[in-house]
Amino acid sequence: AGMRVAVVGAGVSGLTATKCCLDEGLKPTCFEQSRDIGGLWRYTEHVEAGRPSLYPSVISNTSKEMSAFSDFPYPEDFPVFLPNAQLLDYLRRYAERFCLREHIRFGTTVVSIQKRPDFATTGQWDVVTEADGKQTSHVFDAVMVCSGNFSEPSLPLRCFPGIEKFQGQYFHSRQYKHPDVFQGKRVLVVGMGNSGVDIAVEASRVATKVTVCTGRGAWVFSCVFDHGYPWDMVFNTRLMSLIRNSLPGPLLWGLINYRVNQWFKHENYGLQPEQRYSLPVLNNELPSYILTGRITIKPGMKEFKDNSVVFHNCPEEEPIDIIVFCTGYNVSFPFLEEAVVNVENKHASLYKYVFPTHLQRPTLAVLGLIKSLGAIMPVTEMQARWVTRVFKGRRANVSSPMYQNTVQTGHILSSPRPKTDFTLKTDCLVYVDKLASFIGAKPSLLGLLCRDPRLVLSIFFGPCTPYQYRLGGPGRWEGARQAILTQWHRTLKPTRTRVPAGSSSPCPSLLTVMGFLLLLAAVVIGF
Q: For residue 485, what pLDDT is reported? A: 97
Same domain, 284 and 414: no
Q: How far apart are CA 232 and CA 221, in angstroms?
A: 10
Of how many residues is the chain composed? 527
Q: How far apart are CA 47 and CA 146, in angstroms?
A: 20
Same domain, 146 and 189: no
Q: What is the pLDDT of residues 290-332, one digit of tens each?
A: 999 999 999 999 999 999 999 998 889 999 999 999 999 998 8
Same domain, 101 and 13: yes
Tell me if 108 is assigned to some domain.
yes
Q: How many CB atoms lie within 10 A of CB 227?
A: 10
Q: For residue 501, what pLDDT is reported? A: 83
Q: What is the percentage of the chain residues whose pLDDT exceeds 90?
A: 74
How high does pLDDT run on average in the chain?
Answer: 89
Q: For residue 339, what pLDDT is reported? A: 67
Tell me if 28 is assigned to some domain.
yes
Span of 143-157, 431-445, 481-495 with lowest mean pLDDT = 143-157
Same domain, 51 and 105: yes
Same domain, 167 and 314: yes
Contacts of 236 (CB under 8 A, 6+ apart): 66, 373, 374, 428, 429, 463, 464
Averaged over 191-220, what is the pLDDT? 96
Averaged over 60-65, what is the pLDDT? 97
Averaged over 167-196, what is the pLDDT? 97
Tell me if 160 is assigned to some domain.
yes
Tell me if 318 is assigned to some domain.
yes
Tell me if 84 is assigned to some domain.
yes
Same domain, 197 and 315: yes
Number of domains, the chain? 2
Q: For residue 179, what pLDDT is reported? A: 97
Q: Are 23 and 96 in contact (CB under 8 A)?
A: no
Q: Which of 327, 345, 372 is the last residue of a domain?
A: 327
Q: For residue 22, what pLDDT is reported? A: 98
Cα–Cα distances (Å) from 310 to 43, 316, 368, 437, in that order, read 36, 7, 38, 52
Q: For residue 499, what pLDDT is reported? A: 84
Q: For residue 344, what pLDDT is reported? A: 54
Same domain, 29 and 99: yes
Tell me if 237 is assigned to some domain.
no
How deeply is 191 buried, as exposed, middle or buried, from its count of CB atoms within 10 A (0-12, 13-18, 19+)? buried
> Does residue 517 register a pLDDT over 60?
no
Q: Using DSSP, state whether 270 is helix, strand or coil.
A: coil
Span of 93-102, 143-152, 405-414, 472-481 with lowest mean pLDDT = 405-414
- The candidate with the shortest Cα–Cα distance to 70, out of 485, 415, 377, 294, is 377
Looking at this protein, which amino acid is placed at residue 195?
A: S
Q: For residue 178, what pLDDT is reported? A: 97
Q: For residue 412, what pLDDT is reported? A: 36
Q: For residue 409, what pLDDT is reported? A: 34
> Does residue 468 register a pLDDT over 60?
yes
Q: What is the pLDDT of residues 154-167, one digit of tens each?
A: 999 999 999 999 99
Tell me if 177 is assigned to some domain.
yes
Tell me if 30 is assigned to some domain.
yes
- The candidate with the shortest Cα–Cα distance to 99, out of 38, 19, 13, is 19
Same domain, 169 and 106: no
Same domain, 189 and 335: no
Expressed as residue numbers, the domain containing 197 is: 155-222+263-327
Question: pLDDT class for 415, splitting at 50, 70, 90?
Answer: very low
Q: For residue 121, what pLDDT is reported? A: 95
Q: Are 257 and 273 in contact (CB under 8 A)?
A: no
Q: For residue 419, what pLDDT is reported? A: 34
Q: Which of 273, 295, 327 is the last residue of a domain?
A: 327
Local structure of residue 118 (DSSP, 8 states): T
> Does residue 98 register a pLDDT over 80?
yes
Same domain, 178 and 162: yes
Q: How far apart are CA 171 and CA 500, in angstroms?
A: 50
The residue ranking higher by pLDDT, 397 or 80, is 80
Q: Which of 427, 447, 474 is the last residue of a domain?
A: 427
> Does residue 286 register a pLDDT over 70?
yes
Any idea what the CATH number is for the domain that residue 296 is in? 3.50.50.60
The residue ranking higher by pLDDT, 406 or 368, is 368
Question: pLDDT class for 421, splitting at 50, 70, 90?
Answer: very low
> Does residue 39 register a pLDDT over 50?
yes
Same domain, 92 and 161: no
Same domain, 274 and 413: no
